């Protein structure tokens, strides 16, 4: 049986999609994660980080699942750089709760994709983060 997975020539990891965006190394901090990304996406990552820090100052920053994560007894929300978008990972419920406000974004179970060609919806991201914090700490 033929293996149809694409293998990254840099790190050797295998993916179902050719050219799958990923990070090849292991990072320990959000600063390291952002520093390892392409220069063109760093401003978006720094901005979303500031939005999340302001929205949920009680949360701790850490790396979980190889992504910047906000944590307070449990994972609250993650974000990550992809080839054409920033992925925001608030869990399964938030995209349903905020569905009306997320119209026009590519949303799937637990994932919100914000294209780099769009301005970051700062208030919406902050509201989602705050909702996640309140919901997941119950």
Residue ranges of domains in the chain, CATH in brackets: 24-136 (3.90.1150.200)
Residue 2: the pLDDT is: 54
Residue 13: the pLDDT is: 73
Residue 30: the pLDDT is: 97
Q: Which of 32, 33, 5, 35 is nearest to 20 (CA)?
A: 5
pLDDT in tens, the chain (138 residues): 456 788 877 777 787 777 766 666 788 999 999 998 989 999 999 999 999 999 999 999 999 988 999 999 999 999 999 989 999 999 999 999 999 999 999 999 899 999 999 999 999 999 999 999 999 876
């Amino acid at each position: 049986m033929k293996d149809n997975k694409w293998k990254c020539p840099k790190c050797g990891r295998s993916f179902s999609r050719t050219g799958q965006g990923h990070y090849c190394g292991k990072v320990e901090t959000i600063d390291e994660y952002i520093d390892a990304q392409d220069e063109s996406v760093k401003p978006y990552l720094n901005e979303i980080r500031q939005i999340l820090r302001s929205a949920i100052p009680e949360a701790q920053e850490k790396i979980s699942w190889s992504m910047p994560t906000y944590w307070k007894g449990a994972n609250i929300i993650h974000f990550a750089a992809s080839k054409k978008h920033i992925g925001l990972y608030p869990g399964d419920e938030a995209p349903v709760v905020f569905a009306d406000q997320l119209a026009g974004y590519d949303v799937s179970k637990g994932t919100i994709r914000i294209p780099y060609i769009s301005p970051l919806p700062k208030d919406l991201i902050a509201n989602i983060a705050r909702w996640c914090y309140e919901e997941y700490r119950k």
